[in-house]
Amino acid sequence: MDEKTSLRYQLISAWCGPAFVVTFIIFWLGFGHNFPNPSPSLAPEVLKARYLDNLGEIRLGFIISMITVCLYMPWTCVLAGQMQRIEGKNMPMLSYLQLIGGALTVMVVSFSAMFWAVAAFRPEADAATFQLMTDTGWLCIDLQYACTTLQMVAAALVGLADRSKVPLFPRWVCYLTIWCGISFFPASLTGVMKDGPFAWSGVLSFYFPYFCWLCWYSTASVFMIKEIRRRMNVAEPVAASRLAAA
C-alpha cells in the first residue's frame, strides 16, 4: 500500500474518534437514558417502570451503542501506530498496552450495553430480573475501568517521551490524559456503595470521570487528526517530485 492511501485510511480512522463521541452521547447517554442514570438504590418496581416507560428508546439506544462503540477500534489502532513511530526501534510496549486497553474498553462498554438490552428484551420479566441486569451492566462498566486508565496512561507516557520537532501531543495534553485516567479511581467503590457521590449514579464515579474521558478522547482526536494532515501535506510534494523525476 502506498503512503498516500495509508494516510487516507489513517485519517478516516482518526475521525472515528469524534464520530464515537457524538454517537456515544446520543445513543448510550441519550436514548439509553443513562443521563441521568438510574440510582442503584431504586426499588426494583420503580426501575422496571423506568424501562417500560422508555422501552423503545432504551432498545434503540443500546443496540446502536453496541454497533457504534466499534468506532473506538480504528481510532485506537491509529493512536497505536502514531505511538509506535515515537517509540522507534525499541519494543513498542506502551503502544501495545494502549492498543490492548482500547480493545478491552470496547468490550467493557459493549457488554454493559448488552446487559441493559437483555433487560429491555423481555418486558414481561419480574422486577428483580430488571434490577439484576441493571446492576450487572453498571458494575461491568464501572469496576473494569482499569483497562481504559492504562490505555490513557500509556498514551501519555509516550507523548511525554516525544522529542520530535512537532510532537504528537503537547505536554499539557499528556498531563491532562494522566489526570483523566486516574479520575476513574473513585468508581472502585461502586461495588459497595448504593448512595452518594461514589455510587454509580454519583458525581465522583459517573459524571466527573465520564466527562473527563470524553474530554481526553476529543482532545486527543484533534491532535491525531492534525498530525495525519501534517504528514499528508509533507507527503504530497514528495510524491509529486518523485513523479516528475520519473
Q: Which parts of the chain register pLDDT below 70?
A: 236-246
**Structural domain includes residue 92:** yes
Q: Calculate the CA dihedral of residues 148, 154, 160, 165 and round it to 10 degrees.
A: -100
Is residue 126 assigned to a domain? yes
Number of domains in the chain: 1
pLDDT at 3 (0 to 100): 85
User: Do the domain assignments include residue 143?
Assistant: yes
Confirm whether 244 is domain-assigned.
no
Residue 216 exposure: Cα atoms within 13 Å on the Cβ side: 26
Query: Tell me, what's the pLDDT at 237?
Result: 63
200: how many CB neighbours lie within 10 A of its CB? Answer: 24
Domain assignment of residue 39, given as a range: 3-235
Buried b (16+ CB within 10 A) or exposed e, 124-152: ebeeeebbebbbbbbbbbbebbbbbbbbb
Q: Residue 243: inside a domain, yes or no?
A: no
Judge whether 246 lies within some domain: no
Structure confidence at residue 238 (pLDDT): 53
Q: How large a percentage of the chain has pLDDT more than 70? A: 96
Q: Is residue 240 part of a domain?
A: no
What does the block give as the cell for 191?
Answer: 461495588
pTM of the model: 0.90
Please indicate, yes or no, if residue 7 is contained in any of the structural domains: yes
Residue 233 carries which side chain, given as an amino acid letter?
Answer: N
The closest of 124, 83, 75, 129 to 103, measured between CA atoms, is 75
